[in-house]
Amino acid sequence: MKLTQTTRKLYAVLGKRGGRILHGDLREGSTNFEVTAELPVVESFDFANEVRRQTSGLALPQLVFSGWEVLEIDPFWQPTTEEEYLHFGEKADTENRARKYMNSVRKRKGLRVEEKIVEFAEKQRTLTRNK
């Protein structure tokens, strides 16, 4: 089955937000394409607006809570040995999904988040222009 441009954009938004598509098919007796997917609750904030923006208002999302799922990732894990760096490669340097979700909830609730404010101090510039 050939996907339309609107469906591709919907799948792209779901993929960017960590969603999983469970089912997608044409609705019987109409030209509507119905997609059933799972999306983390943290990623669902402003999801409807982004889907409408990406699909020019053609996709109409309906979010329904379906249950809890535990992430298998430890939010506090950091690679420490050379073997872990070799095994996980570049993924070891990026922030894991569980930590990202935990920090976004903490920020939203006004709790303390341990983040580096300055990563590359030698590359920072001032906002004012030197004349």
Q: In this predicted model, what pLDDT tens digit does every residue of 38-88 receive, in sequence order?
A: 998 888 888 999 999 999 999 889 989 988 888 888 888 877 788 877 777
In total, how many domains does the chain have? 2
Name the DSSP class of 74.
-
- Extract the tokens encoding 11: 């799948």
The whole-model pTM stands at 0.65
pLDDT score of 70:
83
> Which CATH number covers residue 50?
3.30.70.240
Q: Are 17 and 10 in contact (CB under 8 A)?
A: no
Assess whether 75 and 124 both reside in one domain: yes
35-28-54 Cα angle (round to 5) = 30
Report yes or no on 31 lying in a domain.
yes
Residue 62 lies in a domain: no
Asked whether residue 63 is assigned to any structural domain, the reply reads no
Are the beta carbons of 78 and 15 closer than 8 angstroms?
no
Which residue segment(s) compose the domain that 119 sits in? 70-131
Q: CA triplet 100, 95, 65: central angle to 5 degrees?
A: 30
pLDDT over threshold 60, residue 92: no
Query: Does residue 74 sit in the same domain as residue 131?
Result: yes
In the predicted structure, residue 91 carries a pLDDT above the cut 60: no
Q: What is the CA radius of gyration of the chain?
A: 20
